[in-house]
Homo-oligomer: A and B are copies of this chain.
Amino acid sequence: MKKLFVVGLGPGSADTMTAQARAALAESDVLCGYTVYTDLVAPLYPDKPVLTTPMRKEIDRCRMALERAAGGETVAMVCSGDAGVYGMACLIYQLAAEYPPVDIVIVPGVTAALSGAAVLGAPLSHDFCVISLSDLLTPWELIEKRLKAAAEADFCVALYNPASHKRADYLQKACDILLMAKKPETVCGWVRNIGREGQKSKLMTLAELRNEQLDMFCTVFIGNEKTQNLGGKMVTPRGYEAKL
């Protein structure tokens, strides 16, 4: 039985991939994925054929990968960040039953909550939530409910897909919900193009975050009530300071 790897690439450069991810790509006969992600790894394996589908064609993309694997090839479906966190692993499992048996192997990777956190300092050192603000596949009411719950229980939060052309005011709406339970001076930050060319980051308060103009290449971090700005780094204490 041939293998279908679902590979989390991390932020995208070769040095942020795990050895396991590199080995899965090397072992594969064909690389498959969204163009932006296959472009990150195709240069490392110039002889391997690359199959791509445009954005929002995720179902076609997964069917393509399953068909090739069922046909006898070892296939790597590549995902930015982790293979599971808003990645293709779930859809591959959901569609797999329609194809002859394929050995599916999930290779985890460093998701943006972790790689972005490392740029800002240590914002997620205590309990945290990961929430996507994209309402393409999730009702906005459920996103609002989760934001409200995260704020009321004083979680740190990593926000994925904070804005896009069609959703220019979603971050503002999210901040308004968070501000119902979190203080305006809560330490926040964002990172754009994590680990890629043109990486940028900024710290600010939650009140200020509300007015930031971000896009889909940004990941946003919201602190809990103990999160501090320590010399330009966003640091959420784990609680050891009680022992200092």
Q: Which of A18-26, A70-78, A208-216 contacts B (4 or more CB under 8 A)?
A: A18-26
Partner of A118, one of B107, B118, B143, B145: B107
Asked if residues B127 and A129 are in contact (CB atoms below 8 Å), the reply is yes
Residue from B89, B136, B153 in contact with A122 in the complex, judged by beta carbons closer than 8 Å: B89
Q: How far in angstroms is the closest Cβ of chain B from A81?
A: 9
* Residues of chain B within 8 A of A22, CB atoms compared: 19
Residues of B within 8 A of A150 (CB): 129, 149, 153
Q: Does A10 contact B (CB under 8 A)?
A: yes
Considering only residues 12-59 of chain A, those with a C-beta below 8 Å from chain B are 14-20, 22-23, 58-59
Q: Is A4 in the interface zone, CB < 8 Å from B?
A: no
Candidate in A10, A128, A153 with the most chain B CB atoms within 10 angstroms: A153
A220 within 8 A of B: no
A184 within 8 A of B: no
- Residues A110 and B18 in contact, CB atoms below 8 Å apart: yes
Binds B, one of A164-172, A196-204, A229-237: A229-237
Decide: A131 and B127 in contact? CB cutoff 8 A: yes
For A138, what are the chain B residues with a Cβ–Cβ distance below 8 Å?
126-127, 239
Cα distance A130–B107 in the bound complex, in angstroms: 20
Choose from B119, B137, B145 the contact partner of A240 (Cβ within 8 Å).
B137
Q: Tell me the bound Cα distance from A119 to B15 in angstroms.
A: 23
Could you tell me the distance in whole angstroms from the C-beta of A90 to the nearest C-beta in chain B? 4
Chosen A-B contacts, 5 in total, with CB atoms closer than 8 Å, are: A15-B20, A94-B237, A106-B117, A137-B238, A137-B240
